[in-house]
A and B are shown apart, each in its own frame.
Chain A
Amino acid sequence: MLIVVCIKQVPDTTQVKIDPVTNTLVRDGIPFIVNPYDTHALEEALRLKDLFGCKVAAISMGPPNAEGTLKKALALGVDFAILLSDRVFGGADTLATSNVLAAAIAKLHAEVDTVGLVLCGKQTIDGDTAQVGPGIASRLNYSQLTLVDKIVNLDLQAKKIRVSRKLEGRHEIVESPLPAMLTVVRELNRPRYPKVQMRLVAADAVVEVWNNKTLQLDEQKIGLKGSPTWVSKIFSPERDKGEIIGDGYADPEGTAALLIDKLMAKDMLPL
């Protein structure tokens, strides 16, 4: 069985600012990282590889420099890394992105091994839409399990998976047949750290690049042309003024309790 992990290279957004004049992201000099949620998807795939011996492929759609992201995945132990890169993929919205990713997954399924699971992050920290994973599932007609914080059971014989979904204030245990697409949250696992030997091998590895000659997709369905989304404005939301509660000097414990109550009432403390 093959597990495909979709990873995206994103700018380290804690350092990204929006240009107030052009309404675009100021990305100059900002280092790229692997989308944090995707590192958890990757870890889960590798964990399943350790457990069941399945193969893992990492795919990413992006410009040529997204190769670095895939090398990180290779250093962590994925078996294949494929960069989906072509000028005609550029400017894609979530629909066009999921078209390309789904096509790549279908190709892996046909040429490498039966795809049992596709793992995505819950969302990216730059686009933040959380639509690409579900988009892939729809295009491929896979079961769609979002916000997974635990794989409760994976039965490769019966081709079934049971997961826990982290919803606001509660958990949901769901079971579905394979193949399935999962989007994952950070509570799922703790990502591993790469071993030096693997980093060195990955650094020298050549990442396979698939362009549209490889995928043969209709140009009306990919890239800018295949993207119906129209961005009218990007802005930083105004932050509401905070509120000062209690008196932390006079009564630290009481104030802490007050804070916890407030956060729980707003459903901001995971239980």
Chain B
Amino acid sequence: MTPSPSLFAPLLLASLAIFAWGCWKRLSLLSLGRPEERFNNIGTRIGEMLRYAFGQKRVIAKPFGFNHFIIFWSFLILMVANTEFILNGLFPHTIKLIRLPFELYVPLAFMIDIASLLALTAVTIAAVRRLFAPPYPEARTPEAFFILGLIATLMLASFGLNATELADYMLKSGADPISFIAAARKIMPISATIAGLLPPLQLETIHVTAWWAHAVALLAFICYLPNSKHMHILTAIPNCFLHRLEKPNTQPREDFTVGNTFGVGQVDSYSWKDLLDSFTCTECGRCQNVCPASITGKPLNPRAVIHDIKVNLLENGAELKNGKHSHKPLIGDGGEGSVSEESIWSCTTCGACMEACPVFIEHMPKIIQLRRHLVETEAKFPEELLNLFENMEGRSNPWGIAPSERTKWCSQLDVKPFDSETTEYLFYVGCAGSFDSRNKHVSVAMAQLLDKSGITWGILGKDEKCCGDSVRRLGNEYVFDKMAKENVATFIERGVKKVVTQCPHCFTTLKNDYRQYGLELEVIHHSELLRNLVEDGRLVLDKTTQEMGTTVFHDSCYLGRHNDVYAAPRAVIEAATGQAPLEMERNTNNAFCCGAGGGRMWMEEHVGERINLTRVNEAMEQSPDTICVACPYCMTMFEDGLKDVKADNVKVRDVAEVMAEALLR
């Protein structure tokens, strides 16, 4: 009772051809991308793949993730059943699972039956969710329902197939229906139950209908897969294998040689892995749901950026393969397939998108590549940045203050210059700590605490320059490169080994970015050093401070998400106040940016709600007396935001100030 192979075989061949062509069409485009090394540390990579692709670790971290886990694993199990189906369709009387040894067949058949039920339930849940509470409004596409419908059809048809086959066997063998079904239920509980309900005379019709329904759905799925977002079924596993093993908190260096291109202005300037990312996006929307820019109504949507890269690549692929220029601009009006300048400048580089993405798509570096193109190749950027760029290049600080004023903050203190012979730590004060009138208090508090702890430390004084964080994140790699080279030379010349910074931006730049220049420093954020000093007993707290009242802590993106420092600042606050700080609704690796990162500190924010206000309001839900921060930019953003909500009674304090209050006052 199996339909004829002569009809099925050509259909199958055609589908496989469409599948192969679809895969080739897309994957061959990867060769247009620039080279990038992603095959080092194979062992670690396999581990990552098992954990994140097969273990779906990130997928299940969010609501409905478990649902996807079920679909994913059902799929893997049902691959066996589908292979059987196809082979059986080609060679009807030779290949059947039931011909396997009984000990193997029974558990396999059981698993397949259960997996089909689970998958059916999961796609139903997914469909209902998309209908009533989609992850994001645009997710309610016909495509999504089509694919869910297809999977459901496959499951229903396979129950139909198995049930009719069981019923047919029962009739032909003349077994007692009641005991047969009871026995069969132990092997295929769902199919056997259905078999017991089938009308004997229509078995043949039902079977043929189910068979063809299954065949058509399966072949449709095969054709559809490589030509849709469901390509991720093929690319997600390799993408987890290929993801950047260190955190994507830096950007690659550029080679400043005449004739090179800088940044990405045409899609083939991306690396092959960037292009693979674009095919891997599952359009789950998790990135946009955590993106501070998207949430506050800016034109940036990280999911759309990845989608636009894909569309652009598909549209321009043929030309680019022939060595021509692309006709569809990658940076443009923001229509499908191009990313608008406004959205490129909206990114705070907070990294929330990358933290949320289940398949490790690296959005932020791609956005910075677009910025590099705008700044370096086109010299096109928001007006406010002209001053910033010139101040950074000319005077090595964002405000353009005379470099001779860098040590003014410590004019009343006895601060020694760093000397590799006599001082252990370099205190890299940073621009905010040196020039910003509010943040200078943090530098002073830090200096006093360091003195009190008895460790030896010094500063570079007038030789200290800006680390270059803002210009790098803004895509001005040329200026960053000059600044980094100068600083690295100074550090080497002065014999610096250990550095403490009071700014997460200096911290990450010295620690991660300068490593690309061959400089391995032991960089520690002041919150970590203070915690260590308390733990070692070098800073002895004999009282706690009540000055701060109720505290709430805000995680800096460049301390937390980008560098995994979460516990230290909390420990400092707890040691100093005797009480752990309260947590905002979004905290630690889910924390919501203050809006200042990625050079946004120096730019106007005209569109949508202000990011710092959103965060201030979130902090205010905890009714704090003091909002604790560990970053000078966060401090500015919170103080500004508090003024706007007229919360004059709420203070903003750096963790060093909190500690100083307990220890020194």
Q: Do A and B bind each other?
A: yes
Could you list which residues of chain A lie within 8 angstroms of chain B, going by C-beta atoms?
12, 14-15, 31, 33, 190-197, 199-201, 204
Interface membership of B377, Cβ < 8 A:
yes
Q: Interface code B576-590, partner A: CB below 8 Å = 1, 0 otherwise?
A: 000000000000000
Q: Are B257 and A200 in contact (CB under 8 A)?
A: yes
A133 vs chain B, min Cβ distance (A): 24
Q: Are B394 and A196 in contact (CB under 8 A)?
A: no
Q: Are B379 and A193 in contact (CB under 8 A)?
A: yes
Q: Are A33 and B394 in contact (CB under 8 A)?
A: yes
Q: Are B258 and A195 in contact (CB under 8 A)?
A: no
Q: Are A199 and B478 in contact (CB under 8 A)?
A: yes
Bound CA span A204–B258, Å: 9
Give the A-B contact count at a CB cut-off of 8 A: 39
Q: A195-B379, A201-B258 are in contact. List 4 more A-B contacts (CB 8 A).
A: A195-B378, A196-B478, A200-B258, A204-B258
Interface membership of B414, Cβ < 8 A:
no
Interface membership of B376, Cβ < 8 A:
yes
User: A192-B379, A195-B379, A197-B377 are known contacts. Are A15 and B404 too (CB-CB below 8 A)?
Assistant: yes
Interface membership of B567, Cβ < 8 A:
no
Bound CA span A12–B404, Å: 12
Say which residue of A12, A191, A196 sits within 8 Å of B376 (CB atoms). Answer: A196
Q: Considering the complex of A and B, which 10 residue pairs feature the smallest CB-CB distances, nearest first?
A: A196-B376, A193-B379, A200-B258, A196-B478, A15-B402, A195-B379, A196-B262, A14-B402, A201-B258, A193-B386
Specify which chain B residues have a CB less than 8 angstroms from the CB of A201 in the assembled complex.
258
Interface membership of B256, Cβ < 8 A:
yes
What are 18 A-B pairs at a CB distance below 8 A? A12-B394, A12-B402, A31-B394, A31-B395, A190-B383, A190-B386, A192-B379, A193-B379, A193-B389, A195-B376, A195-B377, A196-B256, A196-B262, A197-B376, A197-B377, A200-B256, A201-B258, A204-B258
Bound CA span A191–B379, Å: 11
Bound CA span A191–B390, Å: 11
Bound CA span A209–B404, Å: 34
Specify which chain B residues have a CB less than 8 angstroms from the CB of A200 in the assembled complex.
256-258
Q: Which of B208-264 contact A (CB under 8 A)?
A: 256-258, 262
Bound CA span A195–B479, Å: 11
Could you list which residues of chain B lie within 8 angstroms of chain A, going by C-beta atoms?
256-258, 262, 375-379, 381, 383, 386, 389, 394-395, 402-404, 478
Bound CA span A194–B389, Å: 11
Most buried by B among A190, A192, A197, A199: A197
Bound CA span A53–B530, Å: 62
Bound CA span A191–B389, Å: 13
Specify which chain B residues have a CB less than 8 angstroms from the CB of A204 in the assembled complex.
258
Specify which chain B residues have a CB less than 8 angstroms from the CB of A14 in the assembled complex.
402
A220 vs chain B, min Cβ distance (A): 39
Q: Are A197 and B402 in contact (CB under 8 A)?
A: no
Most buried by B among A193, A196, A199: A196
Specify which chain B residues have a CB less than 8 angstroms from the CB of A191 in the assembled complex.
386
Specify which chain B residues have a CB less than 8 angstroms from the CB of A33 in the assembled complex.
394
Bound CA span A255–B130, Å: 58
Closest to A191 in B: B386
Specify which chain A residues have a CB less than 8 angstroms from the CB of B378 in the assembled complex.
195
Closest to A200 in B: B258
Specify which chain A residues have a CB less than 8 angstroms from the CB of B377 in the assembled complex.
195-197
Say which residue of A12, A15, A194, A197 sits within 8 Å of B258 (CB atoms). Answer: A197
B332 vs chain A, min Cβ distance (A): 19
Closest to B405 in A: A15
B445 vs chain A, min Cβ distance (A): 28
B259 vs chain A, min Cβ distance (A): 8
Bound CA span A109–B375, Å: 36
Specify which chain A residues have a CB less than 8 angstroms from the CB of B394 in the assembled complex.
12, 31, 33
Specify which chain A residues have a CB less than 8 angstroms from the CB of B395 in the assembled complex.
12, 31
Specify which chain A residues have a CB less than 8 angstroms from the CB of B386 in the assembled complex.
190-191, 193
Closest to B402 in A: A15
Closest to B262 in A: A196
User: A15-B402, A200-B257 are known contacts. Are A194 and B379 too (CB-CB below 8 A)?
Assistant: yes
B92 vs chain A, min Cβ distance (A): 66
Bound CA span A191–B394, Å: 15
Bound CA span A15–B257, Å: 34
Bound CA span A201–B394, Å: 20
A115 vs chain B, min Cβ distance (A): 28
